[in-house]
């Protein structure tokens, strides 16, 4: 019954999403004077000017919807053609407390999210191994309602020092990039994607704090502290806000540089970071016969280099941007020990479509050799050496490689639609699984 209910819900959501897309083609069906306007940043319009007035007074409402559809066109573990649909709703409010209460440089944010749907990665990867990435980045972390943001931010000393505390997601501050790719391997917070048992990205939040020092207008350093409990990721516990039982704390440290280079002031985003978790993890190399004999703490580092390379007639609103990302995790406790990605995005490729964007990217996600060896040892301990046996564990070894090309159409200021093509080589880093060729379609709607 649960699978049927999920299928009905996903089907209904897909129909609703298609209806939203159709409104951009036939805006005259709207009964509100400013709703569905191409020039409005919101589908529901400005509410007769009320929304702009509220924002000017310090109250900014946000309602947005993201849908991602993916279909395997060829290859994969299950070669039959099928499609999967996933989506996310976000409901939030941002309060400028300087405007509302005269609290200097103070902000409060509250966001609730809901995710639903299914993941194509479960179809194209070996079900006992799973994919390392996902063809639908909005899928995952439990298809459930969550309190995603509930924090207060305060600036001091003319914004030299900035402190944030409450329920936070790590990648809203650390390892941040701009990205519109649908494949998870090219998005924000890659350190959390490959160390997701400690570093929690959107929509999972935890109690924590972040202290940021703005050394110069374009150079900063920041450190965070994030509490870890089993409730952070459990489905149905999205509003369970206890501090205990505590398994440990995760501490990221980051040095950042956001320059505007050259006479055209080309924007850049450079970040070098390190993280450490005080939680205890099993050491893969210590596995013998039936279990592990040693534990250790997790740590790792990451690098981001995102730089716009060109402009169009001197305007940085259009041009080519290069993004490089890398993550290194410890060999003792991490399933994936390193990750690298390179991508190019071209904003405003055509004069007739100055706000559209083309993107192309390639990523490599490498499995720790100690983890691969542990899988082989478990198979030997069970006396199985063939994937035809039900107790056989597929050996994840080497890397999974992900590629994507997309075209983002800004239909209106409140609606973006992105068709894309993806190639996943060795899904789950299982060499016996065929490469998968995937067609995708995503959309973002701001209400």
Q: 26: Cβ–Cβ under 8 A, 6 or more apart, which residues?
A: none
Residue 396 lies in a domain: yes
Residue 14 lies in a domain: no
Q: Quote the pLDDT of residue 1.
A: 40
Write out the chain's pLDDT in tens, 447 residues.
Answer: 434 444 444 444 444 444 444 443 334 333 345 888 888 999 999 998 999 999 999 999 999 999 999 999 999 999 999 999 999 999 999 999 999 999 999 999 999 999 999 999 999 999 999 999 999 999 988 888 999 999 999 999 999 999 999 999 999 999 999 999 999 999 999 999 999 999 999 999 999 999 999 999 999 999 999 999 888 887 777 888 888 888 999 999 999 999 999 999 999 999 999 999 999 999 999 998 878 999 999 999 999 999 999 999 888 999 999 999 999 999 999 999 999 999 999 999 999 999 999 999 999 999 999 999 999 988 888 888 776 677 788 999 999 999 999 999 999 999 999 999 999 999 999 999 999 999 999 999 999
The CA distance from 334 to 372, in Å, is 11
Strand partners, 167: 150, 207
DSSP 262: T
When divided into structural domains, the chain yields a total of 1
Residue 150 lies in a domain: yes
Domain of 327, CATH number, reads 2.40.160.180
Question: 362: how many CB neighbours lie within 10 A of its CB?
Answer: 18
Whether residue 363 has a cis bond before it, omega within 30° of 0:
no
Residue 5 lies in a domain: no
| 291-292 and 295-308 beta bridge pairing | unpaired
| 436-446 and 415-425 beta bridge pairing | antiparallel
The CA distance from 40 to 27, in Å, is 12
The CA distance from 117 to 84, in Å, is 8
The CA distance from 386 to 380, in Å, is 10
End-to-end CA distance of the chain: 32
For 75-222, where are the alpha helices, taking DSSP H only? 97-101, 121-124, 190-193
Phi (first) and psi of residue 241, to 5 degrees? -115, 25
The CA distance from 256 to 278, in Å, is 24
The CA distance from 184 to 431, in Å, is 21
Q: Quote the pLDDT of residue 6.
A: 40
Residue 36 lies in a domain: no
Read off the pTM: 0.90
CA neighbor of 401 nearest in space, from 422, 415, 419, 384: 422
Q: Quote the pLDDT of residue 33.
A: 52
Question: 318: how many CB neighbours lie within 10 A of its CB?
Answer: 20
Q: 97: Cβ–Cβ under 8 A, 6 or more apart, which residues?
A: 58, 103, 106, 107, 108
Question: 386: how many CB neighbours lie within 10 A of its CB?
Answer: 7
By the 10 Å C-beta count (0-12 exposed, 13-18 middle, 19+ buried), 117 is classed as buried
Domain of residue 171 covers 75-446
3-state DSSP assignment of residue 128:
coil
What token pair was written down for 140? 């995952």
CA neighbor of 399 nearest in space, from 437, 445, 432, 430: 430
Residue 180 lies in a domain: yes
Whether residue 245 has a cis bond before it, omega within 30° of 0:
yes
3-state DSSP assignment of residue 169:
coil
Residue 33 lies in a domain: no
Q: Quote the pLDDT of residue 290.
A: 79
The CA distance from 138 to 212, in Å, is 28
Phi (first) and psi of residue 238, to 5 degrees? -65, -15
Residue 392 lies in a domain: yes
């Amino acid at each position: 019954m649960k699978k049927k209910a999920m299928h009905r819900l996903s089907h209904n959501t897909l129909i609703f999403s298609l209806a939203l897309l159709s409104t951009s083609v036939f805006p005259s069906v709207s009964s509100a004077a400013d709703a569905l306007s191409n020039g409005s940043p919101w589908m529901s319009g400005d509410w007769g000017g009320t929304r702009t007035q509220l924002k000017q007074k310090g109250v900014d409402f946000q309602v947005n919807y993201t849908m991602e559809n993916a279909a395997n066109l060829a290859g994969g573990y299950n070669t039959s053609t099928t499609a999967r649909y996933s989506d996310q709703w976000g409901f939030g409010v941002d309060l400028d407390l300087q405007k509302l209460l005269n609290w200097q440089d103070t902000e409060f944010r509250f966001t609730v999210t809901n995710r639903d749907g299914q993941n194509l990665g479960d179809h194209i990867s070996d079900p006992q191994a799973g994919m390392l990435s996902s063809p639908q980045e909005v899928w995952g972390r439990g298809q459930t309602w969550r309190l995603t943001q509930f924090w207060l931010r305060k600036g001091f000393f003319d914004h030299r020092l900035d402190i944030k505390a409450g329920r936070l997601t790590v990648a809203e501050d650390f390892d941040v990039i701009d990205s519109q790719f649908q494949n998870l391997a090219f998005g924000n917070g890659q350190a959390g994607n490959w160390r997701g048992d400690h570093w929690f990205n959107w929509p999972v939040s935890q109690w924590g704090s972040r202290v940021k020092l703005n050394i110069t207008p374009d150079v900063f350093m920041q450190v965070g502290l994030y509490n870890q409990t089993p409730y952070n990721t459990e489905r149905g516990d999205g509003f369970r806000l206890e501090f205990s039982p505590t398994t440990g704390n995760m501490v990221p440290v980051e040095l950042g540089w956001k320059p505007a280079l050259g006479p055209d002031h080309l924007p850049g985003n450079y970040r070098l970071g390190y993280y450490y978790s005080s939680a205890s993890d099993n050491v893969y190399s210590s596995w013998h016969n039936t279990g592990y004999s040693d534990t250790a703490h997790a740590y790792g580092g990451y690098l981001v280099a995102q730089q716009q390379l060109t402009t169009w007639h001197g305007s940085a609103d259009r041009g080519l941007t290069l993004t490089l990302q890398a993550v290194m995790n410890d060999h003792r406790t991490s399933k994936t020990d390193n990750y690298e990605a390179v991508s190019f995005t071209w904003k405003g490729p055509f004069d007739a479509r100055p706000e559209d964007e083309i993107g192309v990217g390639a990523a490599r996600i490498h499995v720790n050799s100690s983890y691969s060896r542990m899988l082989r040892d478990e198979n030997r301990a069970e006396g199985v050496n063939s994937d035809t046996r039900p107790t056989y564990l597929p050996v994840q070894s080497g890397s999974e490689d992900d590629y994507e090309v997309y075209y983002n159409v800004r239909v209106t200021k409140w609606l973006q639609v992105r068709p894309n093509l993806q190639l996943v080589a060795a899904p789950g880093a299982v060499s016996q699984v065929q490469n998968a060729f995937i067609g995708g379609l995503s959309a973002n709607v701001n209400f």
